[in-house]
Structure 1
Amino acid sequence: MLPVMTVNPARAQGVRVGLALLPADDDGALEPFYADLLAGMEEELDAHGASVFVHVVPDLDAEIVAYRRWAAEGLVDAVVVSDLVADDPREQACADLGLPAVLLGGEPRAGRWVVDYDNVTAMRTAVEFLAGLGHRRIGWVSGPQQYRHTRDRDAAFTAAVAAAGAVGVRREGDYGEASGAARTAELLDLPEPPTAIVYDNDLMPLAGLREATRRGLRVPADLSVLAWDDSANVRISHPPLSVVSRDVHELGALTATVLLRAVTGAEPTTTRTPGVRVVARGSTAPPPVGSR
């Protein structure tokens, strides 16, 4: 359930918010996560007579250039800053431009608009689910290390694997399908490959599933696959993928509400998103006998 927050309807009317996104792969495709996020944002913004402007950029420098243009031309009233990195320059750039910014997944701090997602608990939930099935060799295909949420998940993965008495091994992907296949191959080529792999999004595990099938491995009899975030892609795969599930549509609606509050003069706050759960489908099961 969304936290209860009020928005001044008169001041929200006509508000325009901007979201600049980096593509998930070289083909310029966006992650399905962002389609669900945008759907939630648009629904909430439309209810208040507001709108969202989306722009795909190649890198952070181009994103800041976009912010400057948006501010100079009065195209947007606020922006969402996502996929935060260490010493991220975008928050200061927005402050210099007088452009309210909501940090999606940012570190809670006084004077900031933050929508905080608990990556630590989410990763712990994923590992505990797999360990509860009996897996003691757990792989992880992560997103890029530069992102704050990846670093949070990294620390949680290491701690949760140790607490479960398991062995964890990580390979770094870029969220695209090609890296999902390549990193899965690297994990499966290990002398003692993992019996379960958790992936940081919903594109990489689809490629990982195909790589496992290509090698003659049965999912989940020989290998369990756990995706991150629910989507139509993972529900219609064969087998349907188990997921670390958060309501991304609801996250989008919550982000939109926070944006409207930022534009209409409320005091900056940190808003925490609802928790996660594992939805078990056909891609996870106990490990093969003798492999535990």
Structure 2
Amino acid sequence: MTRPTINDVARAAGVSKGAVSFAFNNRPGIAPETRDRILEVARSMGWTPSSRARALSVSRSLALGLVIARPPETLRSDPFFPSFIAGVESVLAESGYALLLQIVPEDDAGHASYRRLAEQGRVDGVLLTDLHVDDTRPALLAEVGLPAVIVGPDLGEAFWPAVGVDDGPGITAVVEHLVELGHTRIAHVGGPGAMVHGRSRRTAWAAALEAAGLEPGPFVEADFSAEAGAGATMHLLDLAEPPTAVVYANDLMAMAGLAVAVARGVDVPGRLSIAGYDDTELAAHLQPPLTTVTTDVTGWGRAAATRLLDLVEQRRSPDVRLDPPRLVVRGSTGPAPAPAPGAPST
């Protein structure tokens, strides 16, 4: 059976071939009812535009880029990116676009990769993740003319829109929960201070303790990996006055910390309460299950991809509203332990 062509669709819909192209590329210039009729005729005939032909017709690559500057050993175990990419792909699959993923060294910060992507015309826009404090990538992308969407809290960046939520309230909710349980020595195992979300989560932890009238507990800077989370936990447990609760900047470090504590015979949550951030799928199935902060990472991916496509296609984009982070209390947090006999009160 001969595959239908754009000419067949145009003839059946009673329009020009150009009108069919306009309908599939969502361009202005045809009435909404005409667009709907064309799309319905095309569906009934089983016709879809060739990706190659569409790219040539609009002078685009029909691809979006995601450049990740993290060590492979950290990235492979981070559950954030699979969920985020799943959300991105769910939008791109319906739009005829592909996702180009590149992993580059941290010290490269993706700059050379971004320049190559722009010069070679391999992508029509990029998603910026893991934003650093004083990050120069947004300005670089503006310089090379490559549209971008920043994934993370809106920092008022003049170059590109942002899609994400403020993670501070989630950390604040964790600290308030622990304070209500009677904890006064609450530690934090944070992400790299050079990263925006590493800094913002540490700031929220410190501010929540100050608001409760407490001094900041011990702090250990890590890199979001399980290995770093385990090492940080061993350091905290070896302190002369170890904390009674630890807030980790992500679930991966929290799960590693929980394993270390249990292996060393520390009762969780009887002697040590542990909380994470991300609400990964495994968090609810640990023993004890992990108290954490849930965010819709897949929804972030969908929203970021939709916003970037609107930017690339020069369409008006509605305001993006994402669910705020929410505390999920499980069995890894409990009342603060009673002071040992003869120990000074806090």
TM-score normalized by the length of structure 2? 0.76
Q: Give SS of 2:247's match.
A: strand
How far off is 1:232 after superposition? Answer: 2.1
Q: How does 1:1-292 map to 2 (within 5 A)?
A: 10-11=25-26, 15-23=62-70, 26=73, 29-61=76-108, 63-105=110-152, 106-167=154-215, 168-266=217-315, 271=320, 273-290=322-339
How far off is 1:50 after superposition? Answer: 2.3
Any gaps of 5 or more consecutive residues in structure 2? Answer: 1-22, 28-53, 56-61, 341-345
Rate the CA distance shift 1:27–1:195 in 2: closer, same or farther, 3 A.
closer
- The Cα offsets for residues 149-204 of structure 1, whole Å up to 9 and x where unpaired, read as 22222222111011123343211001111110111111122222111111111211
More strand by proportion, 1 or 2? 1
Rate the CA distance shift 1:99–1:49 in 2: closer, same or farther, 3 A.
same
More helix by proportion, 1 or 2? 2
Q: Give SS of 1:203's match.
A: helix
User: Is the 8 Å Cα contact of residues 144 and 173 (structure 1) preserved in structure 2?
Assistant: yes
Letter in 2 for 1:86: V
Aligned Cα RMSD in Å?
Answer: 2.4
Q: Give SS of 1:220's match.
A: coil
User: Is the 8 Å Cα contact of residues 114 and 271 (structure 1) preserved in structure 2?
Assistant: no
Letter in 2 for 1:115: V
CA distance in 1, matches of 2:84, 2:107: 20
CA distance in 2, matches of 1:155, 1:233: 27
**Matched residue, 2:58:** none
Q: Give SS of 2:260's match.
A: helix
Higher mean C-alpha deviation, range 191-200 or range 102-111: 102-111
- The Cα offsets for residues 208-251 of structure 1, whole Å up to 9 and x where unpaired, read as 11111122101111111111101123233222211111111111
CA distance in 1, matches of 2:24, 2:202: 41
User: Is the 8 Å Cα contact of residues 138 and 166 (structure 1) preserved in structure 2?
Assistant: no
Higher mean C-alpha deviation, range 270-279 or range 21-30: 21-30
- The size of the alignment, in residue pairs, is 285
Any gaps of 5 or more consecutive residues in structure 1? Answer: 1-7
CA distance in 2, matches of 1:30, 1:90: 25
How far off is 1:143 after superposition? Answer: 0.2
TM-score normalized by the length of structure 1? 0.89
Q: Give SS of 1:228's match.
A: coil
CA distance in 1, matches of 2:101, 2:210: 41
User: Is the 8 Å Cα contact of residues 274 and 291 (structure 2) preserved in structure 1?
Assistant: yes
How far off is 1:22 after superposition? Answer: 2.8
**Matched residue, 2:37:** none
CA distance in 1, matches of 2:257, 2:185: 17
How far off is 1:290 after superposition? Answer: 2.9
